[in-house]
Each structure stands twice: as structure tokens, then as C-alpha cells.
């Protein structure tokens, strides 16, 4: 996204500040917490690879890029509709 983020605080009080503008651009919103949130989720596809010969077609970096692009598209739509101004 072309930004360098500096992190401050811990847990739900953690924020991310754009180093260039010094503007807070990441903030925790408990609204989005899952009711049964777990501390750690780890996926391991080695069993699928071993037993089925399955290999992922999308790399982790590509997956992250797709997720960020999707979130940006949603945020842009929300801003265009007057919701959650950034």
C-alpha cells in the first residue's frame, strides 16, 4: 500500500500511525471481534499434500494481497456511501 506504519500500544489499545503523515490509520475496533475468538489459529496443509498430493495454487503473499485489495474495495465503497469515513 506504499505506507510505513509505526505501531504504538498493546492489545486493544494498539494503533498504527503512518510514519510520513503521523496520522493514525489503524485502530482496534472490538465490534469486529468474534464471540469465541481464539488466541492462535494455525493452518497446516502438509497432511493434504502428503495424502492427496494437493499443493496450493496461491502463495501466502498473493493471498494477503488479495485480502488487502478486497478490504480496500469495501472501505472505498463505505466511504463513497458516507459510512465509516477514513
Is the pTM value of this prediction over 0.85? Answer: no
> Residue with C-alpha cell 494477503?
64
> What is the Cα–Cα distance from 38 to 19, expressed in whole angstroms?
31
> What is the Cα–Cα distance from 64 to 58, expressed in whole angstroms?
10
Q: What is the pLDDT of residue 79?
A: 84
Taking residue 26's Cβ as centre, other Cβ atoms within 10 Å add up to 13
Q: What is the pLDDT of residue 85?
A: 54
Output the average pLDDT for the chain.
Answer: 88
Amino acid at each position: 500500500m506504499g505506507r510505513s506504519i509505526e505501531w504504538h500500544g498493546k492489545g486493544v489499545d494498539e494503533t498504527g500511525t503512518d510514519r510520513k503523515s503521523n496520522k493514525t490509520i489503524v485502530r482496534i475496533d472490538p465490534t469486529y471481534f468474534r464471540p469465541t475468538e481464539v488466541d492462535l489459529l494455525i493452518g497446516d496443509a502438509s497432511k493434504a499434500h502428503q495424502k492427496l498430493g494437493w499443493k496450493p495454487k496461491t502463495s501466502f503473499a498473493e493471498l494477503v494481497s488479495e485480502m488487502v485489495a478486497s478490504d480496500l474495495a469495501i472501505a472505498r465503497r463505505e466511504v463513497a456511501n458516507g459510512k465509516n469515513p477514513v
